[in-house]
Amino acid sequence: MKTMEEVLRDWEAVIGLEIHCELTELETKMFCGCKLEFGAAPNTHTCPVCLGLPGALPVPNKAAIESIVLAGLATNCDIEKHTLFYRKGYMYPDMAKNFQTTQGPKAFAMRGWLDLDVDGKGAQERLDVRDLEVGARVQSATRTETGYTTHIGITRIHMEEDAGKMIHIGGGEGRIDGATHSLVDYNRAGTPLMELVTEPDLRTPEEARLFMQKLRQVYLSLGISDCSLEEGSMRADGNISLRRRGETELGTRTEMKNINSFKALHDALAYEICRQAEVLEGGGVVVQETRHWDPGAKHTITMRTKETADDYRMFPDPDLAPYDLSDEFIEGVRAKLPELPDQKAARFQRTWGLSAYDARHVIEHRDTAGFFEVAMAQAGADAETLAKPIANLIINDLAARRSADESFDLATCPFTPARAVELAGLRASDAISSKQEKEVLEAVFAEDKDPAVVVEERDMKQVSDAGAIEAVVDAVLAANPDKVAEYRGGKTGLLGFFVGQCMKEMAGQGNPKLINQLLAEKLSV
């Protein structure tokens, strides 16, 4: 099988996402008063309404409607004042009433968008952007100095109810394949579930990953869901097809269901791009179907042939009246909008001079954004000077710890915002070197001590006295006349040798910036 880069030289991937998010911050379900509680004993939060018993009538959850309008406003959607619920045929045992209450083509939130900033290694997946000049545009992507930005349309965000949970006994990895029997827990059935559907505007797995990640940031800032991918309160379906570069007609798509991690979304789409290309280049035909991503085997497998809209037999729910949202209701919800991630990043740039790249990555997680803000408040008059160094600590060092340890908790770790300010201040004043900064940070985590205490205990304070350093530089040059002659004869790479000798003489505590400066001056004579 070809690599994805090889495939994308000849083929263009067309990707759309359907991202489901449970409104876990609400108290009750969508159409009944049953309590929302993850992890409760099976079938302890059910009633005649969410079980679909005869004669039971649904009552809509007003707070859920407010939440979806809030989500729509935060993603630049138009809010539809007139909409309604439908019944969608659903013949699986995890929905006892054999239909799902959902919305049709006109949802509460329509025609929205989000802009993505793609940089680093991920930007390299977009081959048609690589060679563009900064500011040049292809489709909806515009080249930037660090990568590109791209505009992703949102078709709609509609409200529906979640299904129950199937538990398969005896099968491999809890799957139905090979199971001896299955159990159903209806606690989740009826949970308010928003589904955001994008336009087919995504072109790489990295764009899909970033879109889901950014949407999660937005929803978390709104406080409408815990957006837990591990617990399934946020999950994605990925739709993907291929077409030859330069063509406009869409190919036959496949769908990956219920992907519950950013990495799984990226890897599933990347594999499916390569698989579809292999089928098409071998003269085969891509079948419209639903597939499952197996993270262990790192491939997709067929689940079922894809249903069509006719299979759902949708019609307006006779038990639920159409909605007529007033301007007062919509504006009341708009007034509850908090500062959104993009707005926060822009404020960090404006207030503390962060670059767009640094600001974007600092706000990537709520805890790092909060950590940075507290650090800036504690830095006081030095905030603008220390903003970049502290951002670097967050983006590089703390992010690396988070990646290496899933249990890493910034809120309880020994490295506090106050200690970040102290460490960044020590480095900014040249009290310690960049190498020593790393050592001090490790010691803070290992010993739970303030950076200044670590520096004092280990006698690490960097020597920045120009007179003391000049004496060492003179001594090193006097001891190596042959190498001085070679340097002046054109072998400028020897500068590193002289710096190393000076640092050795000073037990690693000399200010390397000052050492370099003095050496350059004296060797140029």
The pLDDT, as a whole number, for residue 307 is 60
Residue length of the chain? 525
490 or 262, which is more confident? Answer: 262
What's the distance, Cα to Cα, between the start and end of the chain in Å? 61
pLDDT of residue 216: 97
pLDDT digits (tens, 9 = 90+) for 450-482: 999 998 888 777 677 788 888 888 898 999 989
Q: Please report the domains of the chain, with CATH numbers, ordered by start residue.
A: 4-239+249-322 (no CATH), 341-457 (no CATH), 466-523 (1.10.10.410)
User: Residue 138's beta-bridge partner residues?
Assistant: 141
- Would you say 76 and 113 are in contact if contact means Cβ atoms under 8 Å apart? yes
What pLDDT digit, counting tens, does each position of 59-112 carry? 999 999 999 999 999 999 999 999 999 999 988 899 999 899 999 889 999 999
CA 6 to chain centroid, in Å, comes to 26
Write phi, then psi, for 255 (nearest 5 degrees): -125, 130
What pLDDT shows up at residue 162? 95
CA distances from 435 to 300, 440, 497 (A): 45, 9, 18
Q: How far is CA 276 from CA 271, 284, 356, in A?
A: 9, 9, 36
Q: How far, in whole angstroms, is CA 258 from its chain's centroid?
A: 17
Q: Per residue in 129-166, pLDDT tens?
A: 998 999 999 999 999 999 999 999 999 999 999 999 98
**d(Cα 252, Cα 275) in Å, to the nearest integer?**
13
Each residue's pLDDT tens digit, 317-335: 999 999 999 999 999 999 9
DSSP letter for 395, please.
I
What is the reported pLDDT for 306? 62
Question: Which band of pLDDT confidence, cut at 50, 70 and 90, is reported for residue 251?
Answer: very high
Is residue 174 over pLDDT 70? no
Confidence of residue 433 (pLDDT cuts 50, 70, 90): confident
- Kindly tell me the burial class for residue 502, based on how many C-beta atoms sit within 10 Å of its own C-beta (0-12, 13-18, 19 or more): buried
Mean per-residue pLDDT, 285-303: 90
Alpha carbon distance 189, 93 (integer Å): 11
Q: Is 279 helix (H, G, I), strand (E, B) or coil?
A: helix
Say how far apart CA 491 and CA 262 lie, in whole Å.
49
- Show the tokens assigned to 441: 């940070």
**Residues ≥6 apart with Cβ < 8 Å to 163:** 90, 92, 94, 95, 100, 188, 189
Q: What is the pLDDT of residue 256?
A: 94
Q: For tokens 């083929």, what's the residue?
A: 11
Q: What value does the CA radius of gyration of the chain take, rounded to a whole number of Å?
A: 29
Q: At what angle do helices 417-428 and 383-392 cross, to 10 degrees?
A: 100
Beta bridge partners of 109: 79, 157
Residue 418 sits at φ, ψ, to 5 deg, of -65, -40
Output the six-digit token pair for 471.
């004496």
Predicted confidence band of residue 308 (pLDDT cuts 50, 70, 90): low
* pTM beyond 0.75, yes or no: yes
The percent of residues in the chain predicted with pLDDT above 70, rounded, is 97
The DSSP letter of residue 322 is P
Q: Which segment of 4-13, 203-212, 470-479 scores lowest on mean pLDDT?
A: 470-479
**pLDDT above 90 for 295:** no
Instruction: Decide: 60 and 202 in contact? Cβ < 8 Å.
Output: no
When the pLDDT of each residue in the chain is averaged and rounded to a whole number, the result is 92
Answer yes or no: is pLDDT of 42 > 80: yes
Q: Quote the percentage of the chain above a pLDDT of 90.
A: 74
Closest to 159 measured CA to CA, from 198, 102, 210, 238 = 102
Distance CA(403)–CA(156), nearest Å, equals 33
pLDDT beyond 90 at 424 = yes
Helices (H), 24-120: 62-74
Phi (first) and psi of residue 324, to 5 degrees:
-130, 95
DSSP state of 35: B
